[in-house]
Structure 1
Amino acid sequence: MDEQRKPEETLGGREDNAFESEGGKSGEIRYKLDQRSRIRGGILQFLTLLLAVVLTSAVTATLVTRRIAEDTLVIDNGGNFAQMLKKSLESFEASFYDRQKLRDIYEDVALSVVGVANSREAFDGISYDNVWSGVVMNTEGYILVPYSVVAKEGTPVYIRSDRDSGNIREAEVIGRDMATDTAVVRVQGVNLRPPRFSDSSTVKVAQSVAAIGNPFGDRARGTLTFGVISTINKMISTLTEDNREIKIYAMETDALVNRGTNGGVLVNMNGEVIGINSFSLSQDFNGGFGAVITSNEARSIARALINSGEILIPFMGVFGNLITDTDNNFTGYYIQRVTPEGTADRAGLRPTDIILSIDGVPVQTATTVDEYVKTKQVGDVVIIQYRRSSAVMETEATLFGTVVD
């Protein structure tokens, strides 16, 4: 009996040892498997999350793209891509500006913009090289034109207008001003109407504008460009024919000022003139933008030329910049240079003085002094308050004029 049990014990012992040994190895394997499973599970979770993010982004992008497409593209049922593209562009343009409004403005304003040339034949040509636009200034037939029209003495000037049934008439030269690239001519016996002018001092940067020209005197062949105001109150120092320095104020716009709009008008979205387009000043001073003489400046020039054939305007004769002193709480026009024998020089002002006000009008912009002086006449007396070092002083100044010819 005992002998028979020994093999069983021995066998049982072997089985137990084998189990223990295998059990040890199995636990080791299970541990490794569990570790790998955790790693694989982590990777799987990461990949699942990544896939979810990608799918969510794709769905979002698809929805946004579809929404944009629905907003910007007009789908053509016939599947015509060219038609679809055309409609899409028209939809975009319509949302950017009102083309019908621009057409209405052009049709109205172009009647007050005439064609100007040095020969009758130029109006029948196709080149812009020998034609300009002119702006009717009043019902008496006075027209503001670019200086280049009358640059050569004795050269005839012809006018053509839609309001005159396209008739070509010779004009009389009234006066000219090389420095501001302007001149005034006159035709009589024609029913001309000036456009509506706006106060250019109210113009703001980024305001929508349109440049209009009618160099052939035919609205069907006129020009309109659209843009915004880029810069206001840009001071331009320029020379008269006898090399005297004066300054004029201009605006800049990204509306194209070229030969087609040269001498024409810049209007706001109410169809009111805020400036006169100058291709010459654009080439000389603008740095890539269209230069426009402000409507206030242009009307002042036109009045002077109409009244005397030359421009005699009150002129302060100071050059400088606007400054603000926060420590002493004042703003003023800092004088860097004074024109000899000018108004400021005769009144005793000198470089480094700071003009604080004129006739009680505080200096708030770089153009305050010049704009105010232009409302006066030569010979008028104004009171100038200024700062010299730390002292505030006042002086009376008699306005002297400068002839711009």
Structure 2
Amino acid sequence: MDASPSRALRKTVTAAALVCCAALAAGCTESVGPARPEAAVATGAAVPTAAADLQSRFQQVIRDVLPSVVQIQASHDLGSGVVFDDRGHIVTNAHVVGSEKTFKVTTAHTEEPLTASLVYSYPEQDLAVIKLDKVPDGLKPARFGDSGKVEVGQLVLAMGSPLGLSSSVTQGIVSATGRTVSENGGGGTGATIANMVQTSAAINPGNSGGALVDLDGRVIGIPTLAAADPALGGSAAPGIGFAIPASMVRTIAEQIVKHGKVVDSGRAALGITARTVVDAGYRPAGVAVVTVHGGGAADRAGLRAGDVITEVGGRPVTTLTSLAEALATAEPGQRTTVTYQRAGARRTAQVTLGEQ
């Protein structure tokens, strides 16, 4: 699928490229729709009980959850959101809201778009919360599940507004869990996000910020990225999408609703600003410390400007992205080993990580 000329976002999962799904793009998507039992009866074919039961389960989940999924329209981009509470708070991706402060929101029970305002955007986790200026009757908050209980092979449904087609549903399975995914900029937030849920459910432009749902009707993730194959010129790689886990979504959204900002990120940090450096062959060779934040983790461990970090916790560090990925799997307060070069000499330091 071609990327949107308005603002298609390119992202990478280590070697794989990713496409962020906030902007409207040319193309199409399939809605979920197992064969209807009455259609089979009309042709004289018997409908297996198990298939009919699964279809009924799908349809019930869609009826229960779809009213909690909204379409969000910014001035140039379009995405999805999930109703977080009955006060009109809606959680979505930070890249859906971008730098804008006001939005038009279409819910399942409103014909005309409602207005909403930004509460807070947290690009570091690619999450944001907006709030409806007027809460309509019947607004239904979603139920969020426990990401720790999500299993590979679990059937899931992705709900949102892919390509502007509101209230669309696709189906698939959980393909993997615990993925650390790095956005590569290009209009995105540049976030590195740990513990993402990988799914085969189709994730298209406009799905970002919507709901990845289990068959108990619980949101287990917020669809955020779809993979693209660099070998095919960035074309979409079918069946590879990623969702921010529901437990992280709930943690961040609850802080934003309560405090108007994120007060406890849970994200580890060294307390530095840095840049990628290259070797004589122009290959990425490490991360050079540009400044050390006073009192931060690196400062306490004795690192200083000019040091070149090459490993964190035994993981090679060659770029800012690989440094972010190493830190994304760690926790604030965790003690780890940082290997670095200073004046051509290899050194190590024991660092107690701070919080981003």
Q: Which has the higher contact order (CA 8 A, sep 6+)?
A: 2
Alpha carbons of structure 1 residues 264 and 222: separation in structure 2 relative to 1, 3 Å: same
Q: Give the Cα separation in 1 of the matches to 2:313 and 2:41.
A: 67
Match of 2:268 in 1: 316
The code of the aligned residue for 2:68 comes to S
8 Å CA contact 2:196–2:242 kept in 1: the answer is: yes
Structure 2 stretches of 5 or more lacking a match? 1-36, 230-235, 271-284, 304-308, 316-324, 340-349
Rounded Cα–Cα distance in structure 2 between residues aligned with 1:247 and 1:145? 15
1:240-284 deviation line (CA, Å, top 9, x unaligned): 789976444322111111246432111111111110112xx2146
Matches within 5 A, 1:115-264: 115-118=71-74, 131-151=78-98, 153=100, 156-163=102-109, 165-178=110-123, 180-190=125-135, 191=137, 192-213=139-160, 222-238=167-183, 246-259=192-205, 261-264=207-210
Q: C-alpha distance in 2, partners of 1:264/1:83?
A: 37
Structure 1 unaligned spans of 5+: 1-73, 120-128, 319-335, 356-366, 377-381, 389-394
Please give the per-residue CA displacement for 1:165-196, whole angstroms capped at 9, x wherever unaligned.
44532101122344554332111441533211
Instruction: Report how far residue 205 of structure 1 moved.
Output: 1.1
Structure number with greater Rg is: 1
Q: Which has the higher strand share?
A: 2
Alignment: residue pair count: 266
- Measured against aligned partners, the alpha-carbon deviations of 1:58-84 in whole angstroms (never above 9, x if no partner) come to xxxxxxxxxxxxxxxx9x9xxx99924
Matches within 5 A, 1:1-400: 83-84=43-44, 87=45, 91=48, 94-95=50-51, 98-118=54-74, 131-151=78-98, 153=100, 156-163=102-109, 165-178=110-123, 180-190=125-135, 191=137, 192-213=139-160, 222-238=167-183, 246-259=192-205, 261-278=207-224, 281-283=225-227, 287-288=237-238, 289-306=240-257, 307-309=259-261, 313-317=265-269, 341=292, 345-346=298-299, 348=301, 351=311, 353=313, 373=331, 382=333, 384=335, 397=352, 399-400=354-355
Q: CA distance change for structure 1 residues 138 and 217 in 2, over 3 Å: closer, same or farther?
A: farther
TM-score norm. by structure 2 comes to 0.58
Name the CA shift for 1:346/1:139 in 2 (closer, same or farther; >3 Å).
farther
Task: State the secondary structure of the residue aligned to 1:263.
Answer: coil
**TM-fit CA distance, 1:199:** 1.5
Does structure 2 conserve the Cα–Cα contact (< 8 Å) formed by 1:149 and 1:157? no
RMSD: 4.6
1:329-352 Cα distance to aligned partner (Å, 9 max, x none): xxxxxxx98895586535649836
Whether contact under 8 Å (2:162, 2:204) holds in the other structure is no
Identify if the C-alpha distance between structure 1 residues 260 and 224 changes in structure 2 by more than 3 Å, giving closer, same or farther.
farther
Distance in 2, matches of 1:233 and 1:203, equals: 10
Cα deviation per residue 1:47-101 (whole Å; 9 max; x = unaligned)?
A: xxxxxxxxxxxxxxxxxxxxxxxxxxx9x9xxx99924xx36x549x53970111
User: Could you tell me whether the CA contact under 8 Å between 1:177 and 1:311 is conserved in 2?
Assistant: no
Deviation, structure 1 residue 133: 1.9
Question: Are the aligned partners of 2:163 and 2:204 in contact in 1 as well (CA < 8 Å)?
Answer: no
**Closer, same or farther: CA 368–138 of 1 in aligned 2, 3 Å:** farther
Question: In the TM superposition, what whole-angstrom CA distance separates every residue of 1:97-118 from its partner, at most 9, and x where no partner exists?
Answer: 7011111111111121122224
Change in CA separation of 1:255 and 1:239 when aligned onto 2, cut-off 3 Å: closer
Judging changes above 3 Å, is the alpha-carbon distance between structure 1 residues 199 and 81 closer, same or farther for their aligned structure 2 residues?
A: closer
Q: Could you tell me how far apart the structure 2 residues matched to 1:149 and 1:368 are?
A: 26
1:138–1:193 Cα contact (<8 Å) kept: yes
User: C-alpha separation between the residues in 2 aligned to 1:225 and 1:185?
Assistant: 25
- Rounded to whole Å, the distance in 1 between the matches of 2:140 and 2:41 is 47
Q: Is the 8 A contact 1:114 1:216 kept in 2?
A: no
Identity %: 23
Separation in 1, partners of 2:184, 2:269: 14
Secondary structure at the residue paired with 1:114? strand
CA deviations on 1:290-336 (whole Å, 9 max, x unpaired) are 22111122223334544344686243248xxxxxxxxxxxxxxxxx9
Distance 2:195 2:286 in 1: 18
Aligned-partner SS, 1:282: strand
Tell me the TM-score normalised to structure 1 length.
0.52
